[in-house]
């Protein structure tokens, strides 16, 4: 930013700068002069006489809802306006304001202005239109009549300056009033604004150039404030009082950084209008009842299980009414599905009192004697999720609430919640998020500290990721475990991260439940109005230690001395309402007794539970996919092959531009032509294999969504799923959406540069959408023509509806939509591709916590596919390894158990595993594994190490014959060359996986060893194909066994494969290693070393004497 811009910016945003940056600053002076000249010119032009029609037109354009007034132009300015002493650069805006206000109603401006404008209109020469202002008093009436022009004392300059000072003061409150708000219930405030003091309040008027004597003068209010209500002018004393009420009580509003004026005005209106914070008797009583539930729930748990960890809500009990208010308001605005994510603090309370999980189900989680009914690890009670559809009592409308299960890793659930919400919206055609929304809860330390918060915020306005506004609620108890905020963050508030997306932040003292309710209402309305994120910062405290067993006095003695003295918020609020007469003490006590009884009864029922079912805690049931017992409908997988016509047809789409008048890049034309040639020759490369897989699933009604960095083109420029018109900006075409009129939509989206956030977002399972069924969808889509257009534009892909205009005739739109819809199924294929495989490690938490162990912990399946480009290509330590060893190390199959091979062994193995890991060497097998992912009767995550140089390798091509009906994914690809002619003569089997296969075959040929060494590819590493590997070893009884890999010995697959191969052959032979030595880095940065290492590996693999000394 230039120096001048910085100064201007400071002047605009920093009210503390008024009376102004130093005039000694030359940049400032230059800037002001420039502004003055411009404003004087425009001001002069505007003050010129207008015709009555011009006046009416200008007035209606410039001032809202003005009463038309006939203006008689009399005066003509001939002298420069600058001759008027008060017209300087900083006042011209204000003068304009006054002038237009005076035009509307002369009484609405101060008498001195009235006189000035009248005199000016009467033709007073420049410099003489002013008169000394009449004395200002409390009363505006009884002003003396206008003085004559002769002998007028131009004292207006001071008046204008005072008005400007008042404007600055008002702005100071709007920008920084929250610094002075009483937000901390403990009164020890952790927010330190020492370096940015705010001069507000009666005692600081001098800072703005005002005097105490000005307090009772009346000032006209600018249009950027609503404190006046119906009044357009107020005495300064009252202005300050109202600003204090709006900005410096229990609510601190941070919003002036938002760069949209309408949004700022909207917020000002919500907080400044006098009397906004008034609640009906019924609202107060409901609020009290909610506070009772929230407080008594924790007390009940404490009484019954005093030594159990539950991460109670004590100190922030108003969280429950806060969430309920957001939900009520959103329901009123049409939302019927709320997806929530939250950490440990108060989670059980939210489950009980917001989602309304049966209390007995919660209570029996505390019973350590109950056995688990489900397979897998299960999870602790404050991580489990929940899904519940019920009637919202306030609005009397249906609402589905789900709380997504999460790991301990704070904030990791955020993108998962967003992904699930996006899927809900997508499948219902809820294009603006009017029906489904997300609420995310945060702890203050985690919100400030975890980078995923920032990553998720940055998804909030991206077309393929937006959920059209999330309400964030921070339980800001001013401590993180034992760490003070001053050691935990560099920003004054924990919420500053939200400013990057212009989300307003409402800080509120959580000990004032009415203030909490008010900001929550505004937050929900904000989301409904602007479809943007908003943050509610509940400033509270934590009554106990981090958990109930923890001693907080060790580390925060003073804070906790204060907390011990602190009266509970329920008690304070109840006393307030009793004092007001809103509720009687007896009613209050009855409310408590009623809820305690509910808890006691549920507690008795919980004793009858004999077994714990994690299934009862599913956040996303999957209706119709499994049997009623939750089992797959079969343990088999049909052939994943396709008829030749389908392959040809998809190939044709992949090699053409399916819209007219669309000019593609010359290089791309050549690529498409090459694809056409391959199709004619019945062959496919990697890109075409992928096309065949996606295209066929789309034709079968499966929605496919591929996201990741630069996936539309493909990092290696091989994919080209989105074509760009070279002549028309932003005109694109997605041929995959031109497959057939009744296909499912294809979503391919370049993502933000985030792995954690984006992969997390993809981590939802589209098939789990609970609140949507086909009937619902049919109804929604058949009613909403604009949604049809939205959907069909997806189907036809002529213009992505998120990005451009539609160019399909309407009849095609409607037909396509209906057919496409009729073909839709609850299943979807969701793929995330890393730019290079190693970048997945920045998403490690999502991989470890959700993908690897999600089913074991939360009995929920997930079919996500990870595409991880991998391979040693001499590119250095980065960009080479997708770290297969890590994925393999987390597989749950036992290396020492030789499994019994049954008829359905291959599918059963898949059913039992936690994820599938493959490294595929040809396009046909890639095609099959992708299709198998959907044709299986259950879902498992699939990790694919994808190639780089193989994308264009002349030998890494497949034939249509490998993809026809009856063909399957090949878990192992045996050698079908000369070795098969005389197997007993074969001296060695080299087992390998992935790209090195091509290096091995080339080397074997060069060494003329094609009859003596068999090369077997293990394409599915995990679950390990024990049966097929055994068959291979049995085929060549005299061969020794070698595992060859291009990765270093301590990396790659060796440690996973070796013990399993040994188990397969009952440890009858050793399994030798040929490959790079152990190393710290995944690959060398030196090309020569790279080639040398490869040569050594191949030498070892083909040296039949290499291991003689080892025996």
Ligand X SMILES: Cc1ncc(C[n+]2csc(CCOP(=O)(O)OP(=O)(O)O)c2C)c(N)n1
- Interacting span for ligand X (CB under 6 A) from 8-16, 142-150, 437-445, 992-1000: 437-445
How far apart are CB 432 and ligand X at their closest, in Å?
Answer: 32
Q: 58: how many CB neighbours lie within 10 A of its CB?
A: 14
Residues 515-544 that bind ligand X (CB under 6 A): 542
Q: Which is nearer to ligand X, 560 or 686 (CB)?
A: 560
- What is the 3 state secondary structure string of 402-458? EECCCCCCCCCHHHHHHHHHHHHHHHHCCCCCCCEEEEEEEEHHHHHHCHHHHHHHC
How far apart are CB 485 and ligand X at their closest, in Å?
Answer: 9
CA separation for the pair 559, 482 (Å, rounded):
12
160, 98 contact by CB (below 8 A): no
Which of 410, 777, 824, 963 is in the footprint of ligand X by CB under 6 A? 410
Q: Which is nearer to ligand X, 409 or 615 (CB)?
A: 409
Q: Which is nearer to ligand X, 318 or 330 (CB)?
A: 318
Site string for ligand X, 333-372 (x = CB under 6 A): ------------x---------------------------
Q: Which is nearer to ligand X, 411 or 999 (CB)?
A: 411
How far apart are CB 311 and ligand X at their closest, in Å?
Answer: 7
CA separation for the pair 169, 1068 (Å, rounded):
87
Q: Which is nearer to ligand X, 447 or 506 (CB)?
A: 447
Q: Which secondary structure element, helix H or strand E, spans residue 570, and what is its range?
A: helix 569-580
- Interacting span for ligand X (CB under 6 A) from 34-42, 161-169, 439-447, 919-927: 439-447
Q: Which secondary structure element, helix H or strand E, spans residue 1076, and what is its range?
A: strand 1071-1076
740, 683 contact by CB (below 8 A): no
Q: Which is nearer to ligand X, 248 or 410 (CB)?
A: 410
- Interacting span for ligand X (CB under 6 A) from 195-203, 440-448, 848-856, 975-983: 440-448
Site string for ligand X, 446-475 (x = CB under 6 A): x----------------------------x
Identify any residues that bridge with 707 across adjacent strands, giving them in sequence order.
749, 832
Q: Which is nearer to ligand X, 464 or 477 (CB)?
A: 477
409 binds ligand X (CB under 6 A): yes
480 binds ligand X (CB under 6 A): yes
Residue that is written with structure tokens 């908003």 in the block: 534
- Interacting span for ligand X (CB under 6 A) from 297-305, 430-438, 442-450, 519-527: 442-450
How far apart are CB 708 and ligand X at their closest, in Å?
Answer: 24
Q: Which is nearer to ligand X, 446 or 459 (CB)?
A: 446
159 binds ligand X (CB under 6 A): no
Residues 379-408 that bind ligand X (CB under 6 A): 408
Contacts with 553 (C-beta within 8 Å, 6 or more apart), sequence order: 560
- Taking alpha carbons only, the member of 433, 435, 437, 338 closest to residue 388 is 338
153, 131 contact by CB (below 8 A): yes
330, 338 contact by CB (below 8 A): yes
Which of 479, 540, 722, 1074 is in the footprint of ligand X by CB under 6 A? 479
How far apart are CB 408 and ligand X at their closest, in Å?
Answer: 4
How far apart are CB 372 and ligand X at their closest, in Å?
Answer: 23
Residues 539-568 that bind ligand X (CB under 6 A): 542, 546
Burial 958-986, CB ≥16 within 10 A → b, else e: bebebbbeebbbbbbbbbeeebeeeeeeb
Residue with the shortest CB distance to ligand X: 443
Q: Which is nearer to ligand X, 537 or 873 (CB)?
A: 537
Q: Which is nearer to ligand X, 447 or 997 (CB)?
A: 447
What is the number of helices (H) and of strands (E) in the chain? 36, 28
Is the peptide bond preceding residue 19 cis, with omega within 30 degrees of 0? yes
Which of 366, 481, 626, 662 is in the footprint of ligand X by CB under 6 A? 481
Which of 314, 328, 360, 444 is in the footprint of ligand X by CB under 6 A? 444
- 726: its two tokens: 């070279």
CA separation for the pair 735, 714 (Å, rounded):
15
How far apart are CB 546 and ligand X at their closest, in Å?
Answer: 6
Q: 539: how many CB neighbours lie within 10 A of its CB?
A: 30
How far apart are CB 489 and ligand X at their closest, in Å?
Answer: 10
Radius of gyration of the chain (CA): 36
Residues 99-138 that bind ligand X (CB under 6 A): none
874, 1081 contact by CB (below 8 A): no
415 binds ligand X (CB under 6 A): no
- Interacting span for ligand X (CB under 6 A) from 476-484, 642-650, 711-719, 790-798: 476-484
How far apart are CB 477 and ligand X at their closest, in Å?
Answer: 5
Identify any residues that bridge with 539 across adjacent strands, giving them in sequence order.
476, 509
How far apart are CB 315 and ligand X at their closest, in Å?
Answer: 9
- Taking alpha carbons only, the member of 705, 1030, 686 closest to residue 871 is 686
Contacts with 538 (C-beta within 8 Å, 6 or more apart), sequence order: 316, 318, 319, 322, 473, 474, 475, 476, 508, 510, 516
Q: Which is nearer to ligand X, 756 or 960 (CB)?
A: 756
Which of 164, 221, 384, 445 is in the footprint of ligand X by CB under 6 A? 445
Site string for ligand X, 76-105 (x = CB under 6 A): ------------------------------
CA separation for the pair 1047, 929 (Å, rounded):
24
973 binds ligand X (CB under 6 A): no
Q: Which is nearer to ligand X, 563 or 973 (CB)?
A: 563
Q: Which is nearer to ligand X, 366 or 481 (CB)?
A: 481
Burial class (CB in 10 A: 0-12, 13-18, 19+), 63: middle
1101, 1072 contact by CB (below 8 A): no
How far apart are CB 445 and ligand X at their closest, in Å?
Answer: 3
Burial 540-579, CB ≥16 within 10 A → b, else e: bbbbbbbebeeebeebbeebbeebeebebbbebbbebbbe
Q: Which is nearer to ligand X, 470 or 1022 (CB)?
A: 470
Total site size for ligand X, rule CB under 6 A: 15
The residue length of the chain stands at 1111
Residues 884-923 that bind ligand X (CB under 6 A): none
Q: Which is nearer to ligand X, 351 or 706 (CB)?
A: 351
- Taking alpha carbons only, the member of 353, 355, 330 closest to residue 341 is 355
CA separation for the pair 461, 457 (Å, rounded):
8
- 790: its two tokens: 């939205």
CA separation for the pair 90, 50 (Å, rounded):
24
Beta strands 683-684 and 958-959 are antiparallel
How far apart are CB 443 and ligand X at their closest, in Å?
Answer: 2
CA separation for the pair 950, 663 (Å, rounded):
29
477 binds ligand X (CB under 6 A): yes
Q: Which is nearer to ligand X, 239 or 342 (CB)?
A: 342
Cα 1062–1065–1068 angle (5° rounding)?
Answer: 85
How far apart are CB 314 and ligand X at their closest, in Å?
Answer: 11
How far apart are CB 251 and ligand X at their closest, in Å?
Answer: 21
Q: Which is nearer to ligand X, 757 or 1023 (CB)?
A: 757
944 binds ligand X (CB under 6 A): no
Q: Which is nearer to ligand X, 313 or 524 (CB)?
A: 313
- Interacting span for ligand X (CB under 6 A) from 235-243, 378-386, 443-451, 532-540: 443-451
443 binds ligand X (CB under 6 A): yes
Residues that bind ligand X (CB under 6 A): 345, 408-410, 443-446, 475, 477, 479-481, 542, 546
């Amino acid at each position: 930013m230039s120096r001048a811009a910085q100064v201007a910016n400071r002047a605009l945003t920093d009210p503390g700068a008024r009376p102004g940056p130093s005039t000694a600053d030359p940049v400032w002076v230059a800037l002001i002069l420039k502004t003055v000249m411009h404003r004087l010119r425009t001001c002069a032009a505007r003050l010129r006489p207008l015709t009555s029609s011009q006046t009416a037109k200008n007035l209606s354009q410039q001032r809202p809802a003005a009463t038309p007034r006939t203006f008689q132009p009399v005066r003509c300015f001939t002298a420069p306006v600058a001759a008027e002493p008060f017209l300087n650069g900083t006042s011209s805006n204000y003068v304009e304001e006054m002038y237009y206000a005076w035009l509307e109603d002369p009484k609405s401006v101060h008498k001195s202005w009235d006189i000035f404008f009248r005199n000016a209109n009467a033709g007073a020469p420049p410099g003489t239109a002013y008169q000394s202002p009449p004395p200002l008093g409390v009363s505006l009436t009884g002003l003396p009549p206008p003085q004559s022009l002769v002998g007028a004392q131009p004292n207006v300059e001071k008046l204008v300056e005072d008005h400007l000072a008042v404007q600055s003061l008002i702005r100071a409150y709007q920008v920084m009033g929250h610094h002075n708000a009483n937000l901390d219930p403990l009164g020890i405030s952790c927010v330190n604004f020492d370096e940015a003091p705010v001069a507000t309040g009666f005692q600081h008027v001098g800072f703005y150039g005002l005097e105490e004597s000005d307090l009772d003068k009346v000032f006209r209010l600018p249009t950027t404030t609503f404190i006046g209500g119906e009044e357009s002018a107020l005495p300064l004393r009252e202005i300050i009082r109202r600003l204090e009420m709006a900005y410096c009580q229990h609510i601190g509003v941070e919003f002036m950084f938002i760069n949209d004026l309408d949004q700022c005005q909207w917020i000002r209106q919500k907080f400044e209008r006098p009397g906004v914070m008034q609640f009906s008797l019924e609202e107060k009583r409901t609020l009290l009842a909610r506070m009772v539930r929230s407080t008594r729930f924790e007390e009940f748990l404490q009484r019954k299980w005093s030594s159990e960890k539950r991460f109670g809500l004590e100190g922030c009990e108003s969280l429950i009414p806060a969430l309920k208010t957001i939900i009520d308001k959103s329901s009123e605005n049409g939302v019927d599905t709320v997806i929530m994510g939250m950490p440990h603090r108060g989670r059980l309370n939210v489950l009980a009192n917001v989602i309304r999980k049966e209390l007995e189900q919660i209570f029996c989680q505390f019973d350590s004697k109950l056995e688990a009914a489900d397979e897998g690890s299960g999870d602790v009670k404050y991580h489990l999720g929940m899904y519940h559809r019920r009637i919202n009592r306030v609005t009397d409308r249906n609402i589905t609430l789900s709380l997504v299960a999460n790991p301990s890793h704070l904030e990791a659930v955020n993108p998962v919640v967003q992904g699930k919400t996006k899927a809900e919206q997508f499948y219902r055609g809820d294009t603006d998020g009017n029906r489904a929304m997300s609420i995310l809860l945060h702890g203050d330390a985690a919100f400030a500290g975890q980078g995923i918060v920032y990553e998720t915020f940055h998804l909030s306005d991206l077309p393929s990721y937006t959920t059209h506004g999330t309400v964030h609620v921070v339980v800001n108890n001013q401590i993180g475990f034992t760490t003070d905020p001053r050691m935990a963050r560099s920003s004054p508030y924990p919420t500053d991260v939200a400013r990057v997306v212009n989300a307003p932040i409402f800080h509120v003292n959580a000990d004032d439940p009415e203030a909490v309710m008010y900001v929550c209402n505004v937050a929900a309305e904000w989301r409904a109005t602007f479809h943007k994120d908003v943050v509610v910062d509940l400033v509270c405290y934590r009554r106990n230690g981090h958990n109930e067993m923890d001693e907080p006095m060790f580390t925060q003695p003073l804070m906790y001395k204060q907390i011990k003295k602190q009266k509970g918020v329920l008690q304070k609020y109840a006393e307030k309402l009793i004092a007001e007469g809103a509720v009687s003490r007896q009613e209050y006590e009855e409310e408590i007794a009623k809820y305690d009884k509910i808890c006691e009864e549920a507690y008795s029922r919980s004793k009858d539970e004999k077994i714990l079912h994690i299934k009862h805690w599913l956040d996303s049931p999957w209706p119709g996919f499994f049997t009623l017992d939750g089992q797959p409908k079969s343990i088999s997988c049909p052939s994943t092959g396709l008829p030749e016509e389908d392959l040809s047809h998809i190939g044709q789409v992949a090699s053409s531009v399916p819209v007219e008048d669309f000019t593609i890049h010359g290089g791309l034309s050549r690529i498409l032509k090459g694809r056409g040639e391959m199709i004619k020759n019945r062959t496919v490369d990697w890109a075409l294999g992928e096309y065949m897989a996606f295209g066929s699933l789309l034709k079968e009604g499966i929605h496919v969504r591929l996201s990741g960095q630069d996936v539309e083109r493909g990092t290696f420029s091989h994919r080209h799923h989105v074509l760009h018109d070279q002549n028309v900006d932003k005109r694109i075409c997605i041929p995959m959406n031109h497959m057939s009129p009744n296909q499912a939509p294809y979503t391919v989206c370049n993502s933000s540069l985030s792995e954690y956030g984006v992969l997390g977002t993809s981590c939802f399972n589209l098939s789990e959408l609970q609140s949507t069924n086909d009937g619902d969808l049919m109804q929604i889509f058949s009613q909403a023509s604009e949604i049809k257009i939205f959907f069909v534009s997806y189907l036809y892909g002529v213009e992505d509806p998120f990005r451009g205009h539609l160019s399909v005739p309407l009849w095609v739109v409607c037909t396509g939509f209906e057919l496409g819809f009729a073909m839709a199924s609850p299943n979807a294929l969701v793929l995330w591709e890393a730019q290079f495989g190693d970048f997945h490690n920045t998403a490690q938490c999502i991989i470890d916590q959700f993908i690897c162990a999600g089913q074991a912990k939360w009995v929920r399946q997930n079919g996500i596919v990870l595409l991880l480009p991998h391979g040693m290509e001499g590119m250095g330590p980065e960009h080479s390894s997708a770290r297969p060893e890590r994925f393999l190390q987390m597989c749950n199959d036992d290396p020492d158990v030789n499994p019994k091979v049954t008829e359905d062994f291959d599918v059963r193995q898949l059913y039992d595993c936690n994820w599938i890991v493959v490294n595929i060497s040809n396009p046909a097998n890639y095609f099959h594994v992708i299709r198998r992912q959907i044709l299986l009767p259950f879902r498992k995550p699939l990790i694919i190490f994808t190639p780089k140089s193989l994308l264009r390798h002349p030998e890494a091509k497949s034939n249509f014959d490998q993809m026809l009906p009856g063909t399957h994914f090949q878990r192992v690809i045996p050698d079908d060359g000369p070795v098969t002619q005389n197997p007993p003569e074969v001296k060695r089997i080299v087992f390998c996986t992935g790209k090195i296969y091509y290096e091995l075959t080339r080397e074997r040929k060069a060494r003329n060893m094609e009859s003596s060494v068999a090369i077997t590819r293990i394409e599915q590493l995990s679950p390990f194909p024990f049966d097929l590997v055994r068959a291979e070893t049995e085929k060549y009884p005299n061969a020794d066994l070698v595992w060859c890999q291009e990765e270093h010995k301590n990396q790659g697959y060796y440690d996973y494969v070796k013990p399993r191969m040994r188990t397969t052959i009952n440890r009858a032979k050793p399994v030798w290693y040929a490959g790079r030595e152990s190393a710290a880095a995944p690959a060398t940065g030196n090309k020569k070393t790279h080639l040398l290492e490869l040569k050594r590996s191949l030498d070892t693999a083909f040296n039949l004497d290499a291991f003689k000394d080892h025996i």
